[in-house]
């Protein structure tokens, strides 16, 4: 007889040498890096309906896409300023006579 899953079941596993915690619940599963709260969560309905496969394919295509172009161009280098002796003297500010 198979035991019904009524409470969360937690197991530790290593992925590429890093420790992770897999939590299996009646609503889905959650994979987090050990010591962290946020991770990868998947609903059982998404898994069964194929949405999970679609999301995986989308993430794989995004990961293999070229890096996005920057919206702002990189700032140009400013030419070095001339030493103070070579610069023209600065104009003095006029005072108002009021």
5 φ, ψ (degrees, to nearest 5) = -85, 105
Domain residue ranges of the chain, discontinuous segments joined by +:
9-62
pLDDT tens, position by position, 34-80: 998 888 888 888 878 877 777 777 777 666 655 555 556 666 777 67
pLDDT tens, position by position, 25-43: 999 999 999 998 888 888 8
**Residues 38-72: b if buried by 16+ CB within 10 A, e if exposed:** eeeeeeeeeeeeeeeeeeeeeeeeeeeeeeeeeee
Poorest-confidence range of 6-10, 65-69, 70-74, 86-90? 65-69
Task: Give 90 or 32, the one with higher predicted confidence.
Answer: 32
In the predicted structure, residue 2 carries a pLDDT above the cut 80 = yes
pLDDT value at position 49?
82
């Amino acid at each position: 007889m198979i035991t019904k899953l009524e409470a969360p079941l937690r197991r530790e596993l290593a992925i590429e040498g890093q420790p992770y915690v897999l939590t299996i619940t009646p609503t889905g599963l959650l994979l987090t890096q050990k010591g962290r709260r946020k991770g990868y969560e998947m609903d059982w309905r998404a898994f069964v309906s194929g949405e999970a496969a679609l999301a995986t394919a989308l993430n794989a295509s995004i990961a293999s896409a070229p890096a996005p172009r920057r919206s702002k161009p990189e700032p140009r280098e400013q030419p070095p300023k001339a030493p103070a002796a070579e610069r023209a003297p600065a104009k003095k500010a006029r005072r108002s006579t009021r």
